[in-house]
Amino acid sequence: MAGDVITAEPPQLFDRLEEQKSDSLLQLIALCDADPRPDKIDVGVGVYRDAAGATPILRAVKAAEKRLWETQETKAYLGSMGDARFTALIRPIVFGDTLAKDDRIVGLQTPGGCGALRLGADLVARANPRARIHVGQPTWPNHGPLIECSGVEMVSYPYYDAAQRIILFDRMMDALGRAEAGDLLLLHGCCHNPTGADLSLDQWREVAALVSRRGLIPYVDLAYQGLGNGLEADAAGTRLVVEAAEQALIAQSCDKNFGVYRERTGNLFVKAGSKRAAEVVFGNLLTLARTMWSMPPDHGAAIARIVLDTPELRADWNAELKEMCARIRTLRARLAGYDERLAYIDGQNGMFSILPLREEQVLALRREKGIYLANSGRFNVVGLSDDNVDRFAAAVVEKLDG
């Protein structure tokens, strides 16, 4: 009847949601923050720390921020591609001068490497709803959920054996030898996360040959360029596979190498079969970005652009990057020297390494000593300060089996 009060309960839409486990690395940040012990050791999430245990803003970044503040006249929209000059400056850093000129490669700014990975996966799913991507195990814990969200099927290939501390290269190549033409292949460009174990240049050459022989599409996650063996060396593998492949995707991040983590600063580059195809790809990337974040956040990209466009800031950034890299190397060598069971850490690259610990040993370190590393045994080498590295090494050695 007209005027009746409607009393029916609305269906409880959100009751249908399943409870979620939060991301293991983000959970670790919260757990460590909540621990009141003053001597706790945070080697969880991947942020650089200096000898005193701080994550300072780089000098070049601070100087660029000042310039930005003094000179920026508007914050009007830039469009879905973000800061095109920033992307153009990153391009030769990733690809080198020659490959950077390839007009089959297009790129745009994204919210960090994660945004780039997601945008690329969505592009792949849009282009081919039946696409498959081969992902090495173990990998960064967010790779799987992110790829799954895009609807791309994930197939695992063996990559690293934590107990033996070795890359399972033959098994990896065997598995990839069975991949089908048009399948994607997720590769860590450098500083493998979580293992720190990178392919040698010869192994990259073999992967490049396989990619070309079998018509695979490399999808390179390049989040740590400059933190392994320098900007050029860290991009060498990526360049080999991109050159060899007809088509490729590269998710690039400045979050770590500019230390602008929370600014979310990165790029997605895509190589297509022709210049025309690349233009169509670019149009699709713009429309996909528009539906997800519309436009990427500007601040981090504007800073990186100013750094790269200003010779003295660029030189200082290069020097700071080298300092960070050297500190990582020193810490690796120091840890390796404590016990021969840790010797493998020295031969690896970047922020991470996996300790051959069982989950209960990891949890015991957390409980007894306030040492926060991922349940997988992954730890952030450069999360250690000069003050706690000895204590960390002693506690780990005490827990190691035989």
List Cβ neighbours of 219 (8 Å cut-off, separation of 6 or more). 120, 124, 133, 184, 185, 186, 187, 248, 249, 250, 251
* Nearest distance in Å: CB 149, ligand LMR: 15
**CB closer to ligand LMR, 194 vs 247:** 194
Active-site residue among 122, 256, 336, 393? 256
**CB closer to ligand LMR, 140 vs 157:** 140
List Cβ neighbours of 386 (8 Å cut-off, separation of 6 or more). 51, 52
Q: Name residue 216's amino acid.
A: L
Residue 19 burial (CB count, 10 A):
4
**CB closer to ligand LMR, 25 vs 381:** 25
CB contact at 8 A, 194 and 207: no
**CB closer to ligand LMR, 80 vs 350:** 350
* Nearest distance in Å: CB 113, ligand LMR: 8
Binding site for ligand LMR (CB under 6 A): 25, 45-46, 140, 142, 193
Active-site residue among 221, 234, 298, 316? 221
Active site residue 140: yes
**CB closer to ligand LMR, 45 vs 175:** 45
Active site residue 221: yes
* Nearest distance in Å: CB 48, ligand LMR: 11
CA atoms of 192 and 372, how far apart (whole Å): 20
CA atoms of 212 and 183, how far apart (whole Å): 12
CA atoms of 88 and 120, how far apart (whole Å): 18
CA atoms of 156 and 145, how far apart (whole Å): 14
Q: Name residue 353's amino acid.
A: S
Q: Using alpha carbons, list the distances in angstroms from residue 139 to 67, 135, 221, 273, 401.
A: 38, 7, 11, 28, 24
> Any idea what the Cα angle at residue 255 is, between residues 107 and 242, rounded to 5°?
40
For 10-152, where are the E strands, in sequence order? 41-42, 105-110, 132-137
**Residue number closest to ligand LMR, CB atom:** 46
**CB closer to ligand LMR, 139 vs 150:** 139
Residue 296: closest CA among 90, 59, 86, 152: 86
CB contact at 8 A, 339 and 317: no
Residue 280: closest CA among 123, 83, 59: 123
* Nearest distance in Å: CB 76, ligand LMR: 30
CA atoms of 113 and 225, how far apart (whole Å): 12
* Nearest distance in Å: CB 7, ligand LMR: 47
**CB closer to ligand LMR, 281 vs 297:** 297
* Nearest distance in Å: CB 24, ligand LMR: 9
Active-site residue among 131, 162, 197, 223? 223
* Nearest distance in Å: CB 49, ligand LMR: 13
Residue 378: closest CA among 193, 222, 253, 228: 193
Active site residue 223: yes
Tell me the catalytic residues: 140, 221, 223, 256
